[in-house]
Structure 1
Amino acid sequence: MLPAAGATMMGIMTNKQRKGRSALSGMWANMGSTIATFMFAWTIIRQYCPLMLNGFFEKYTRRLMAYFYPYLQISFHKFRGGRFRSSEAYAAIKAYLSANSTKNAKRLKGEMGKDIRSLVLSMDEYETVTDEFQGAKVWWLSEKWLYAITFHKKYREIITESYLEHVLSKGKEIISSKRQRKLYTNTSNDRIPIHKQAMWSDVVFEHPATFESMAMEPEKKREIVEDLLTFSKSKDFYAKVGKAWKRGYLLYGPPGTGKSTMIAAMANLLNYDVYDLELTAVKDNTELRRLLIETTSKSIIVIEDIDCSLDLTGQRKKNTEKFSDDENEKLNKEIAKKKAKEDGSKVTLSGLLSFIDGLWSACGGERLIVFTTNYVEKLDPALIRRGRMDKHIELSYCSFEGFKVLAKNYLDFEMHPMFDAVERLMGETRITPADVAENLMPKSSLDDAETCLSNLVQALEEAKEDGAKKEKAAKKKHEDGKEKDTTVEDAALEEAKEKGAKKEKAAEKEHEDGKEKDTTVEDAVESQVNEEAK
């Protein structure tokens, strides 16, 4: 009997399990069909309902859900202002979460750190991590171009008044400590709409130049460093006097005198980013203004060789001279050639002046604007006047003090018997710091300090000889020009004398002919009178 009873019980339990599974399956089937019906109806409504009615449904559906859903969400987008302008809040949140999410997030992305040897981990896209602050729990979601924070509405005041301020503050500290300085250049792509393209592209700035390694006189170097450091600490002063917190520097001098190196040393001294602006790639003044807006604080905006950039070097002349037909034709050809060359850019001098110190130049702060040129005399005075280019720095040929800095850098000593010869030759000829550095650089493992200094002395002697030959040639050309001018003057004087003699002779002949004619007329009149009297 026991086995029979056990079999009966097992049968009953099996039937119940089958009925339960059947009921569960039926419930899921009904739920699936209900969801499918709802989705179909919602699709039909969205497709065929008028847009205004559709917006009405969405508006009140969200309001209805808000009564039952107790969580709030705040989004922080990567770009702001309706254009590709980076948000500082987004960057601070990214830094904060990168430092606090590596232990909790399951999907991370890695980037190179400041020293190019460390790896910085941050949340990957569509990853969620949690954080707690004063008993309030929050959820951070990372999407493609935004971060979203979700929290219970009872913690609204804690999150909005304290937590977010805490996140931004910590994020900025992390950015400052791990900040990579960047070198930017402006980009232009006609195929992409302006509002969808980034205005600048960047690489990590790793130039090693410092003021200590520059070939300059110590006093001049000290003056520039003090000027830069004073500017970086003068935020309150600029606000007090009512000026935008910016300063212009004009670096001028022959090629090879260290203008680009000076810019790198400035950036390293102040820990600023560098924006290398290529004017020929800028379409017009409006795009130039957008580029200015996209730059950040703590930056140097550089326009190198501005005397070669577009038509910005000539003074605004008033042409009152009258040219011959040949000269006019030649002038028109030059103008047409220049216009064809600059057809891709319509940046004007007035647009650049507005860029430097117009109203838009006050957007942001703590910025340096640096121009470099080989020929300062070619630039329009309005472009380089004080207030635009506040400090003019001439970088000229290498002096003996500059040579000693380079000798210390390249050969690692401060005195040598050959220094006297170098000093004497540098007083007699001119050589750029770039040429000095090239001669001091060892060309093989066998080159020692003696060899390098001998190379420099030889280069100085050759430069001296070349200078003497050029001076002699220039002197001879000048003398030949004077002789030629004298010959031309004598020939012109002789020609003028001949012309004068010819004119005088023609006048005398004409006078004599006139007298003969008058005599003939008088005789004819007298003869006629006599005949009538008879």
Structure 2
Amino acid sequence: MVIRTIANDFFPAEITNYFSMRLRGLSHRFSSQLTIVIDEFRGHVVNQVFEAADAYLGTKTATPSIQRVKVGKTDKDNNLSLSMDRGGTLVDVYENVEMKWKLVCSQVPSHNHGDVNSSQRSEVRHYELSFHKRNKDLVIDSYLPYILERAKLMREENKSIKLHTVVYGRWDDDEVIFKHPMTFNSLAMDWELKRAVMEDLEMFTNGEEYYKRVGKAWKRGYLLYGPPGTGKSSLIAAMANHLKYDIYDLDLTDVRNNSDLRFLLLSISSRSILVVEDIDCSIELENRESEEAEAHSNQGDNQITLSGLLNVIDGLWSCCGEERIIIFTTNHKKRLEPALVRPGRMDMHVHMSYCNASVFKQLAFNYFGIRDHGVFEQIEKLLEEVNVSPAEVAGELLKKNSNSNAEAAFQGLLKFLHEKKEKGEEETVNIPSSVQFSTISINQSSRGRGRGRRGRGRFRHSGR
């Protein structure tokens, strides 16, 4: 220190800087340490390695080597986020090798004098990772990829699901946090059908290598059909919460033409769910290959064609993105164009039907925490004779929504079902139980404890 002060007094700054750099160079040449610099940005793009290191090191803040920790949370996060503070150092151990991290921050001139956050944005940050030179291959080939994978899993665990909608032909920039509480545990749905959907989702999410091997885009289509109030929207919410996928809610009346539709598809992130609800009611899809369709194409500004929609969900454009789910819903399956719902486009057809014993028991547990009661047998018998949606049953139970009123709620539901029966509003539908493997499709009907004479909940499953 004394020598440096004397040198600064007697020699010009250029000379002292030159010798200082030469001395540092000699020191580095004979040093056994190697330092990797990880900048926050690569050009104008955020460096993914920096982001991953920032998230990973946040989980190591309990180590004795670190004394200052930053904590924060945004609307997009489910949990508090920890990170190193400026100038902080941390020692991590990976496969018995010490890795020394340091967060280096420096200020750059800011031109946004009226912005209170300008000082943060004018700060340049980078991590310095130091280790013994002999461990270079371990760090590059194993340690850093490990950090990237760990950070990816952490982001998924801490991720808030977002709901997107179309505004002026583009996905809205203002992200809406999806806070629907529905899960598969609380979803009032035929238990066999629920299990089949969950198993199919599990196969899909773990099927990256399978889809590559068979040469198919990594996507899955679900057609949810059935009367109103049978839980189609609730099933979508449960799927999104189960997978932690963002939801893109597409109203086709907000899209002008096929080009805009393709643009919207390209703007959807991977690991997401594209939802088109009531597809039979939104617009009249015309196939422009026929002259008749040209003559009757009178939908105002909306010029989406059937062929355009088919190309988006199953053509070349559908390959632009991975791990995507497409869901169509309708109350009237027979109104849909067969080409729209064939295997490869809508791979699994899920029939959301009227309330049965297993659906009612789930609702009773959700509202009152009760799994069995003396009147359950009477209610289940009436459910086999009356067409009533889960939403109607839930509405009756909601009228008495405390545990002390469970008896009154069940009696009220019995009265409601008796009145429905007396009015003759029920419709008898004979759907035989069957398993058809010749077309890789399955039809199931379950009636609580056994098979009833009328099917409640069925699905058509077309391969992976």
Q: Any residues of structure 2 matched to 1:356-395 within 5 Å, and which?
A: 356-395=313-352
1:92 and 2:71 aligned: no
TM-score computed with the length of structure 1 as normaliser: 0.57
Is 1:180 the equivalent of 2:153?
A: no
Give the letter for the 2:336 counterpart.
L
- Identical-residue share of aligned pairs (%): 38
Q: Distance in 2 between matches of 1:225 and 1:446?
A: 30
Residue number in structure 2 paired with 1:266 = 239
CA contact (8 A) 2:382 2:418 kept: yes
Contact kept in structure 1, 2:367 and 2:401, CA below 8 Å? no
State the alpha-carbon separation in 2 of the partners of residues 173 and 72 from structure 1: 20
* Residue among 279, 282, 303 paired with 1:306: 279
Residues 440 and 158 (structure 1 numbering): CA distance in 2 closer, same or farther, change over 3 Å? same
- Please state which structure has a larger fraction of its residues in strand: 2
Aligned ranges for residues 57-206 of structure 1 at < 5 Å? 75-77=39-41, 89=49, 91-96=51-56, 98-99=58-59, 108=70, 110-112=72-74, 116=78, 118-122=79-83, 139-141=103-105, 144=121, 149=126, 162=139, 166-167=143-144, 169-177=146-154, 178-188=157-167, 201-206=174-179
Question: C-alpha distance in 1, partners of 2:87/2:168?
Answer: 35
Q: Contact between 1:315 and 1:381, CA under 8 Å: does it hold in 2?
A: no
Q: Which runs of 5+ in 1 are unaligned?
A: 1-23, 25-30, 32-65, 322-327, 472-534
| Larger deviation, residues 250-259 vs 176-185 | 176-185
| Pairwise CA distance, 1:369 | 1.4
Q: CA shift at 1:138, angstroms?
A: 5.5
Q: Which moved more, 1:422-431 or 1:203-212?
A: 203-212
**Alpha-carbon offset, residue 302 of structure 1:** 2.0
Number of the residue aligned with 2:386? 429
Per the TM alignment, residue 386 of structure 1 is displaced from its structure 2 partner at its CA by 0.8
| Structure 1 pair 69–268 and aligned structure 2 pair: CA distance change class (3 A) | same
Query: Counterpart of 1:490?
Result: none
Change beyond 3 A, Cα 1:160–1:431: same
What is the CA–CA distance in structure 2 between the aligned matches of 1:111 and 1:221, rounded to whole Å? 35
The equivalent position to 1:275 in structure 2, one of 248, 252, 256, is 248
Question: When the two structures are superposed, what TM-score results if normalisation uses the length of structure 2?
Answer: 0.65
Higher Cα radius of gyration: 1
Number of equivalent positions: 380
- Structure 1 pair 138/426, CA: closer, same or farther in 2 (3 Å)? closer
Q: Which residue of structure 1 aligns with residue 221 of structure 2?
A: 248
Displacement after TM superposition at 1:139 (Å)? 4.7
Distance 1:394 1:201 in 2: 34
CA shift at 1:256, angstroms?
Answer: 0.6
For the 8 Å contact 1:250–1:372, the answer to whether it is kept is: yes
**Compared CA separation, residues 93 and 369, structure 1 to 2 (3 A):** farther
1:443 maps to: 400
Query: Partner amino acid for 2:80?
Result: L
* 1:266 aligned counterpart, secondary structure: helix
Helix, strand or coil at the partner of 1:244: coil
CA distance in 2, matches of 1:370, 1:397: 20
Instruction: Describe the shift of the 1:130–1:318 C-alpha distance in structure 2 as closer, same or farther (beyond 3 A).
Output: same
Distance 1:229 1:201 in 2: 31
Partner of 1:230: helix, strand, or coil? Answer: helix
CA distance, structure 1, for counterparts of residue 282 and residue 123 of structure 2: 39
Residues 164 and 132 of structure 1, relative CA distance in 2, 3 Å threshold: farther
Q: Answer whether contact 1:418 1:453 (CA < 8 A) is retained.
A: yes
Q: Partners in 1 of 2:412 and 2:255 — Cα distance?
A: 44
CA RMSD of aligned residues (A): 4.7
Task: Report the equivalent of 1:411.
Answer: 368
Alignment partners' CA distance in 1, 2:128 and 2:24: 11
1:189 shift after superposition: 5.9
Distance in structure 1 (CA, Å) of the matches to 2:43 and 2:222: 31
How far apart, in 1, do the equivalents of 2:374 and 2:339 lie? 49
